Amino acid sequence: MGVSRFYLRGEFDLATVPAMRERLRRLIDSSPDDLIVDCYDLTFLDAAAIKVMVEVQQTLSEQHRTIQLANVHPFIARLLTLCELYDVLGVSPVADPLASLQQL
């Protein structure tokens, strides 16, 4: 088993949830791999998007697969910590948060 990488860019919110949920579902259904969701270019995440990430984690867990959120910016990591999802979603912070904030 390998790893599939899914890139989130821009805002992941109520308006984009349906399309993202469908893209993630297709990826999960088409591959036996674990999933890395790269959040480097993610600028916003709301409760609806967090729900999708939890649903993905539950689906993968039922299939003995894992999810990891990679390159998570500090403000998103803080939100996931407050929701007690930091470890559940396998959060991996941006290697150099100051460098990533300069790009915003």
What is the pLDDT, as a whole number, of residue 101?
Answer: 46
- Close Cβ partners of 87 (under 8 Å, ≥ 6 residues apart): none
Contact 56, 63 (CB under 8 A): no
CA dihedral over 4, 6, 21, 84, signed as positive or negative? positive
Confidence of residue 102 (pLDDT cuts 50, 70, 90): very low
- Calculate the CA dihedral of residues 68, 48, 29, 89 and round it to 10 degrees: 20
Res. 21: pLDDT tops 60 = yes
What is the pLDDT, as a whole number, of residue 52?
Answer: 97
- Calculate the CA dihedral of residues 9, 22, 60, 50 and round it to 10 degrees: 50
Mean pLDDT for all residues in the chain: 91
Residues 37-88 have pLDDT tens digits of: 999 999 999 999 999 999 999 999 999 999 999 999 999 999 999 999 999 9
Q: Which domains are delineated in the chain?
A: 3-102 (3.30.750.24)
